[in-house]
Amino acid sequence: MFHVKHPELDLILEELRREPAPPARLEARLRAEFRRRRPQHRWLAWTLRAAAIAIPVAVLVNGLVLDQQPRQSVEPAAQPALREVTTEFFPLDAGPTGEEARLVRVRLPRGALRSFGLPMDEERAAEKILADVVLGEDGTARAVRFVSFTAR
Amino acid sequence: MTASLAEPSDEILLQRMIAGDEQAFTLLYRRHQPGISRFALHMSGSADIAEEVTQEVFLALIRQPRQYAPERGPLASYLYGIARKQVLRRLAGSRLQATPRDGEEPTVAWGVEDDFSRRQQIERVRRAILALPPRYREVVVLVELNEMSYQEAAEVAGCTIGTVRSRLSRAKSLLESKLINVEKCST
């Protein structure tokens, strides 16, 4: 008795490869787990979208103040010894920004940091912090980053 | 394992998911679940284990999405790596990992197509894969059944491309050694 290479093995591996994957019965359960763990994101994304379509120069929407003027690098009420520090941009929407994208500075509740896994002091959750929002041509908020200031 | 040009990349979807986008998570799940489930099924031979492993992979993604470091490789490799550890953990100490004793190894008889249906042959090869030592079994499953490149399989298995090649060659030799040509053996 001897062993020989068999092209049949490759053919059978091909058939095994084409077998359908096991059914995706877990999807509903996993999506429920996802929602259970991240309900606050929907509020934040909605709030930023609502802010994007605000027209006046300064509009108060659920505690959000939208400033349509170009982003300033230093807080007014001048503290010239401070240096602006920002986080990375967190994408909110995968759509294209277009050539007319804008960067606007807004104020958000500090609790928004939690939505992005950033550390925050829970006792200060209601305070306002600065954030830069990228608005696409259609006014949809595409990305956000958070701004803070540190001593030089 | 990669998205088409018309679909957001894994990295974009992951960032959106971190930001709370359920649809982004759903897209990631639907994109990777078939491969993960198929890998777990072929490694374990158990539909129950395959489902458990798949669930653990995506729960890990939901609970600790920032554990994934893009600089270490594609998201798919990261997910398969979790699946691999989950499968090996479940197989450790189980009968599935033990090499069948002499006389119990599954064999396939060729040259007698009238006696064995095609499905029986496929089933015997499937069992032969399960009988392989895990380090050979996983390269067969990743490369031959999940159609990964040697590079992708190396990232999942945590070894070099050369090791993947040599293990795959050895694995296929082991599988072929179980394919007995009955006509030749009977002479």
Q: Tell me: the pLDDT tens digits for A100-124? A: 677 888 888 887 777 676 777 777 7
Closest residue to B175, CB basis, from A9, A40, A115 = A9
Q: Which of A79, A143, A138 is nearest to A106 (CA)?
A: A143
Whether B16 contacts A93, CB under 8 Å = yes
Q: How many contacts, defined by CB atoms under 8 Å, are there between A and B?
A: 128
Quick one: A81 exposed, middle or buried, by C-beta within 10 A (0-12, 13-18, 19+)?
exposed
Q: What is the pLDDT of residue B121?
A: 79
Contact assignment for B180 to A3 by CB distance below 8 Å:
yes
DSSP A123: G
Q: Is the pLDDT of residue B152 over 80?
A: yes
ipTM: 0.77
Whether B37 contacts B30, CB under 8 Å = no
Q: Is the pLDDT of residue A59 over 80?
A: no
Q: Which of B105, B125, B168, B178 to mutate to test the interface with A (most CBs of A within 10 A)?
A: B125
Q: What is the pLDDT of residue B146?
A: 93
Q: Is the pLDDT of residue B186 over 70?
A: no
Q: Is the pLDDT of residue B185 over 50?
A: no
Q: What is the largest CA-CA distance in chain B?
A: 68
Q: Is the pLDDT of residue A64 over 50?
A: no
Q: How far apart are CA A51 and CA A83, in angstroms?
A: 27
DSSP A75: -
Q: How far apart are CA B62 and CA A23, in angstroms?
A: 20
Q: Which residues of B touch A40 (CB under 8 A)?
A: 20
State the Cα torsion B37-B42-B45-B48 to the nearest 10°. Answer: 0
Q: How far apart are CA A108 and CA B46, in angstroms?
A: 49
Q: Which residues of B touch A30 (CB under 8 A)?
A: 25, 29, 55, 58-59, 62
